[in-house]
Structure 1
Amino acid sequence: MISVRKSEDRGFADHGWLKSFHTFSFADYFDPARMGFGRLRVINEDRIAPGTGFGTHGHCDMEILSVVLEGALAHCDSLGHAGVIRPGEVQVMSAGRGVRHSETNGAPGEVTHFLQIWLLPSETGIEPGYAQLAVDPARKRGRLALVAAPEAREGTLRWHADARLHAGCFDGMESATLALDEGRLGCVHVARGSVEINGQRLRAGDAAMLRDEPRIELCAGKGAEVLVFDLAS
């Protein structure tokens, strides 16, 4: 079974400095039918105006992923990490038993466009952590590259969620398939362009949630950039 969440049906908040679309319930946007999917709790598509951002605030017991699409995101946290995340880079912060951080626009004069994704951890109260990864564009060209997983692998971020994240870019005849073990869930978020997922055309901002499907098949991309999650239910 495949359920498609269209871009135009998402929740939306306009705070002036921040414009944010919510795939699932978040902050003032509440839909009891959209409280997450498997271990996924939040997929927000954010645009932050120049010179602004999220001030220092706290989180606990959540795996937080940031994927920058345009501009740059400046990060600072209570663990002593500070840096800038640029397009093609991803960040994972394990909030664990507690961390405070800020995320601000790091691109003077430009809007920063990024995805903020939260996943429920497999265990609570762990030591908080932070990691950042630049993903080689060649790894994603016409294929699905593993970006984050519960186990440590070279070229992959480790997080504490029962989920694996793949990223891919597809045009024309390029295609890829990801098998899903029995009982696993799949979620595809289209960050740019359009692509067919199991025969259904999705466009930027759309998401497909797959349950009781043996595989995820992607093809017929048009400037498509996608995030693909293999999730525990």
Structure 2
Amino acid sequence: MPLLRRGSERGQVNLGWLQSLHTFSFGHYYDPKHMGFSMLRVINDDTVAPGMGFDTHGHRDMEIISYVMQGALEHKGSKGNHHVIPAGDIQLMSAGTGITHSEYNYFATEPTRFLQIWIRPGKKGLNPSYAQATIHQKGPLTPLVTPDGQSDSLVIHQDARLYRLKLSAGETVILNAPGRWGYLHLIKGAAQTLQTHLSAGDAAGLTEEESIELTATAPLEALWFELPPG
């Protein structure tokens, strides 16, 4: 049976301007049972108050993905990047040898919510890079981030693939990643599996020989990761 991570059991952080739910140990939240999954190290569900955000800070040797679910995120980076990421867009930063950047809610009157995702790179010391894209859905599974740029996806420096999954109520999909690990994170909607019911915020991790049959019980949006065996 796949490993289940209930959204209600995630670490919670409330800084006033930031409400964050941590799937894996991060910052002041530590749980030795949830340190990551394969090369996937962070999934933070961040809600940023109007006009607020993360001041300039640094990263290195990490592939950092931002997926905006509501509002818009304003990004300024040490490599001269200044972009606004609207809901539905995806951003990928390869921190490599080191970058600094800030992230702010672009709007002064409404919150911005996004998933902050970290994946360990295939090797350290890469040249930092930045990419952003609007990727329209093409079928139930649409590649967003891949190592080879499949279907105009953003290119990551790791043998990892990230897809957006969208299902209408009543649609069914079977997810597996033969020879690899898979990780499903529900963004919105709900689904029934053969073993349990999944709601927004819930996640399931699969090892090489496992699969999950998912039937949407409400219009569903999720992220599906295919990762190296852990």
TM-score, reference length from structure 2: 0.95
* 1:213 maps onto 2:222 in alignment: no
- For the 8 Å contact 1:170–1:195, the answer to whether it is kept is no
- For the 8 Å contact 2:61–2:94, the answer to whether it is kept is yes
- For the 8 Å contact 2:169–2:220, the answer to whether it is kept is no
Number of aligned residues: 229
Partner residue, 2:220 = 224
- Offset, 1:223: 2.1
Partner residue, 1:175 = 172
CA change 1:55–1:34 in 2 (3 A) is same
1:174-204, Cα deviation, whole Å (9 max, x unpaired): 233344122x111000011112345532111
* 1:165 maps onto 2:162 in alignment: yes
- Offset, 1:214: 4.3
- For the 8 Å contact 1:39–1:162, the answer to whether it is kept is no
Partner residue, 2:89 = 89
- For the 8 Å contact 1:180–1:216, the answer to whether it is kept is no
1:37-71, Cα deviation, whole Å (9 max, x unpaired): 00100000000001110011100000000000101
Unaligned segments of structure 1, at least 5 residues:
none
1:71-98, Cα deviation, whole Å (9 max, x unpaired): 1000110111111111110000000010
SS of the aligned residue for 1:20 comes to strand
Task: Tell me, in whole angstroms, the C-alpha distance in 1 between the residues paired with 2:216 and 2:5.
Answer: 20
Residue identity in the other structure for 1:93: M
Task: Tell me, in whole angstroms, the C-alpha distance in 1 between the residues paired with 2:27 and 2:220.
Answer: 29
Q: Which stretch of structure 1 is more off in the superposition, 9-18 or 170-179?
A: 170-179
Unaligned segments of structure 2, at least 5 residues:
none
Residue identity in the other structure for 1:109: T
Q: RMSD over aligned Cα, in angstroms?
A: 1.4
TM-score, reference length from structure 1: 0.94
CA change 1:59–1:197 in 2 (3 A) is farther
CA change 1:190–1:150 in 2 (3 A) is same
Task: Tell me, in whole angstroms, the C-alpha distance in 1 between the residues paired with 2:217 and 2:130.
Answer: 33
Partner residue, 1:11 = 11
